[in-house]
A and B are shown apart, each in its own frame.
Chain A
Amino acid sequence: MAGEGTSTSGDGGGSSDGACSGVGGASGCGVVAMVFSSATPTRGCAGGCSFPLLAQILPLFSWLGLNPGGMVLRKWIDGVAMAALVLASVSPAAAQSVAPAAPQDSAPAAPTPSAPAASEGESVSLNLLTAVPDPASVVMPELAFTATPEIEAVYDKYYYFHRADTGFTAALADIRECDAFARGLTTGIGYTSTPYPYAGTMAGALGGAIANVMVMMIFGSAAKRQLRRTNMRRCMHYKGYERYGLKRDLWEKFNFEEGLSSVKEVDRQRYLAQQARVASTPGIAQKDLGL
């Protein structure tokens, strides 16, 4: 095959024609990039190869569409090198916060149930991840606005989900499951289908954390935000929710983007509860934007 042993550049990565605004697996079409990028091979090490050993694996990354213009490939080199340093210091049990100047908890407290949180380094109460608040206590966000072409142009980013005949509890469970898929951790996921009894729901935190570190360092914040949008839209669509456009400032009141920095778990759960309140509120009907 022509692409073997070579790297691609330009439009070889499936990124041509704006088909993939992201890259590799973090884009909306990483799979296509993977098989598409062998179309226009150019030999060499675009962007320079600082590490001879890493240079050997660059041809492989060309298959993954990781070299739309050379920049991404350079980020890969830097990312892999940095990751090697970071991963060397990663410890499965290293879930403590960075030491602040003043103690957050000045005396030993009784143990509380905790779990490796989605945000690396954050530990949260298990109750926070699973508790279902009284929907009456959840602030219903403002949804009314007058659409303009400018507002509609960014409906791919700013939207909310809604499904008829759905209760708050079901909606919150759905949104939490999709959030767990989107954040790339097993925390909170209803992983009940495994036919063997040892698949711990928390066990994947380390793998997810490492993968996220890689994604962050290599692809940057924008691609990670886009990845979250893609995963949330797809997951909620599969669950039968409709997607309605929303004005950005209204959207920001009960949604969050997640790029290089994570959202605090308490804030995340508050937002998710509000999204569930909206998703389950009867009588809301707009133009369904689809997937």
Chain B
Amino acid sequence: MLVAALLATLPGAVSAQAVKDKPQVTLDAGTAYIIYTAKAPAALELIREPTEADVAAYNTRRKTAFDKAYKSYVRKVSDWNAQVEAHRKDSAVAIVGTRPVELTEASFSFPPIEFDMIVAMGPLNRFSKADDASVYLQAVPPGNYRVYGPIFVGVDNTVAAGVCMCMGTVQFRAEAGAITNVGTLRFPLLDAILAAKASGGEKPKTALDLPDGTTSFAIQPAVGGVAVDPRIGSFPVRPAAYRASGKMPNWYGIEVDRLTAIPGVFSYDRDRIVDLTGASPATNH
């Protein structure tokens, strides 16, 4: 499908391939896989922690872009100086525009490396689908992944819809030769609306109406030993071992929230995320 093709054309993007919903699937022992379930079609954006090679490639791209921009800046400054000199000689000569803003490493605007590390899953390309469960399975590079949120991302990151877990989320590692099971994505507002409909109670209008402690997005961690899909066969399936992960920028300018706390994994002290696993110190703020 067109969108899938567009998603695959992200420059520098990590190579991630959805496993198609076919009667038989072949999984590669040298590849890492991530799987999740949701009640309905749902997108999930993950951001892989860059490797040293990723950083080197990114820095090269950034330097090339900076050098090009700096040449343009120098040219503009030259033009500006020529204008000013002409104006000094003849005040009737108008100066157009303003002095070019100095271009420095600090002020140079360039997409962050995280944009190269995006793994976008769903809402298309479900591995299996039923009335009450959509399962997504995707081959991904091995590494540490942060859950950025239930976000659909378009080509070159120009389109993003969803909610970012910018104020607190989790991270996990996906190893080669195994399927890392993220668990079940939950949308508490949807759950609350459905519950209100069933009970005849008042429906919440937005996620702001949810009770304290419940945010717009939650993950129910997977449980080990539970069969996922018979087509997977004996390929190892491991529940994601979550750790707390701190704040991230709202790169897309979309709605901001944080992941609902997971007992035994992390909690919040005001806006500070507290890791409960003992695997890492509390992060950020």
Q: Which chain A residues have a beta carbon within 8 Å of chain B's beta carbons? A: 1, 3-4, 14, 17-21, 24-32, 34-36, 38, 53, 56-57, 60, 63-64, 66, 80, 83, 87, 91-93, 95-97, 99-100, 102-109, 111-116, 123, 126, 180-186, 189-196, 198-212, 214-215, 227, 230-231, 233-235, 238-240, 290-291
Contacts and interface: CB of A to CB of B under 8 A. Distances in A.
A31 B253 contact: no
B151 A25 contact: yes
B246 A193 contact: yes
Interface stretch (B23-31, B104-112, B224-232, B233-241): B104-112
A107 to B, nearest CB: 6
Given A32-B207, A93-B73, A97-B98, A116 B109 contact: yes
B208 interface: yes
Between A26, A29, A114, the greatest number of chain B beta carbons within 10 A of the residue's beta carbon is seen for A29
Task: Choose among B38, B39, B110, B256 the residue with the greatest number of A CB atoms under 10 Å from its CB.
Answer: B256
Nearest to B157: A207
From B38, B49, B161, name the one whose CB has the most chain A CB atoms within 10 angstroms: B161
B11 interface: no
A123 B73 CA distance: 15
Contact of B208 (A97, A227, A234): A234
Contacts of B69: 91-93
Nearest to A195: B49
Contact of B162 (A31, A123, A193): A31
B58 to A, nearest CB: 7
Nearest to B87: A106
A3 B99 CA distance: 54
B96 interface: yes
B2 A92 contact: no
A35 B253 contact: no
Given A25-B163, A60-B123, A207 B252 contact: yes
Nearest to A199: B112
B199 interface: no
28 contacts: A1-B134, A24-B161, A25-B254, A28-B205, A31-B207, A34-B123, A38-B40, A57-B2, A60-B123, A66-B161, A92-B69, A92-B108, A93-B108, A95-B109, A96-B76, A102-B94, A108-B84, A108-B99, A126-B106, A196-B55, A198-B50, A198-B113, A200-B112, A209-B109, A211-B159, A234-B167, A234-B257, A290-B212
B102 A64 contact: no
A160 B65 CA distance: 43
The main secondary structure of chain B at its interface with chain A is loop
B109 A93 contact: yes
B160 interface: yes
A66 to B, nearest CB: 7
> What 4 pairs across the A-B complex have the smallest Cβ distances?
A184-B253, A193-B246, A193-B284, A28-B206
B173 interface: no
A196 B114 CA distance: 11
A18 B206 CA distance: 9
B50 A291 contact: no
B219 interface: no
Given A3-B40, A19-B204, 6 more contacts: A25-B254, A32-B193, A92-B110, A96-B76, A108-B80, A196-B50
Contact of B158 (A83, A102, A116, A123): A83
Nearest to B76: A96
Contacts of A106: 84, 87, 95
Given A25-B160, A198-B59, A34 B152 contact: yes
A184 to B, nearest CB: 2
B107 to A, nearest CB: 5
Contacts of A107: 84
Contacts of A208: 249-253
